[in-house]
Structure formats: structure tokens, C-alpha cells
Amino acid sequence: MPTLPWTALNSPPHDTEVHVFASRFETRTLWGALKFLAGTPAVWRQVRRSPGVYGATLKAKPLRRTFWTLSAWESKAALDDFARSGAHRPAARGLATQMANATFTTWQARSDDLPLPWSEVFRRLP
């Protein structure tokens, strides 16, 4: 699973601001990377059902133990509701000891610019 393509889940209003979230995770071990991958389908299903999500994607380099996420939301509150519920919460807690590094960033973007390119994520995350 090198990359899950951008999946547009809900159509944002034309020419509005959206809340963008990006993350970079690096696991300590290959076992941690496999655990991350094992939890991905359940979290991806949750993303697809989450109120307020406009779209999401995941880039995975499991042999390098590195993963990036990118998602767009109608608000920070919608993102926070997702992160604190469903499959995401136990997955995040269960992987905490496996993480070597985790970096997060948010910014506002125009809905007409979705999907955002990975180059924008790499520019904003170390």
C-alpha cells in the first residue's frame, strides 16, 4: 500500500476555506510499521464516514517505517471529533509506543485547490 489516492468524500462549497491536516509518522521498528498498516483499514473506514470530512489520502513507505496523511475538513472541530472517536482513538493510543517521531501541522486552504499536492505536505512537514 504505497499510497491511498485522494478520496473526495464530500463536496466542499465552492471557493471557501477548508481546514487541512497533515501528519508524518515514523515508527521505531518494522513491526511498528506493520501495526500501523494493520490498523489503517479501520481508520480509513472511519474517515470515510466522518461528518465534515472533504477528502483524505495516505502515503506509506513501510520499509522506511514512514507514513504521511493528508485530509481536509470543514472545521477544526470536525477533525477533532474524528481524532477522538471511533477506530482512530484506540489505534493512535496503541501505536504511541511504536512511534519514533510524529509531526503534525494544520493550515487553511481554498476548497477549489483540493486535492492538495504531496509537495505542499512535504514543504510544511520536516
Q: Are 8 and 55 in contact (CB under 8 A)?
A: yes
Close Cβ partners of 36 (under 8 Å, ≥ 6 residues apart): 25, 27, 62, 67, 95, 98
Mean pLDDT, the chain, whole residue set: 94
> Percentage of residues in the chain with pLDDT exceeding 70?
99
The string of pLDDT tens digits covering residues 3-44 is: 899 999 899 999 999 999 999 999 999 999 999 999 999 999
- Residue 108 has a pLDDT of 98
- Residue 94 has a pLDDT of 87
The string of pLDDT tens digits covering residues 74-84 is: 999 999 999 99
- Dump the DSSP string for 30-89: HHHHHHHHHHHHHHHHHHHH-TTEEEEEEEEEGGGTEEEEEEEES-HHHHHHHHTSTTHH
pTM of the model: 0.93
CATH (residue range 3-8+15-124) = 3.30.70.100
Domain residue spans of the chain:
3-8+15-124
- Residue 1 has a pLDDT of 57
- Residue 126 has a pLDDT of 77
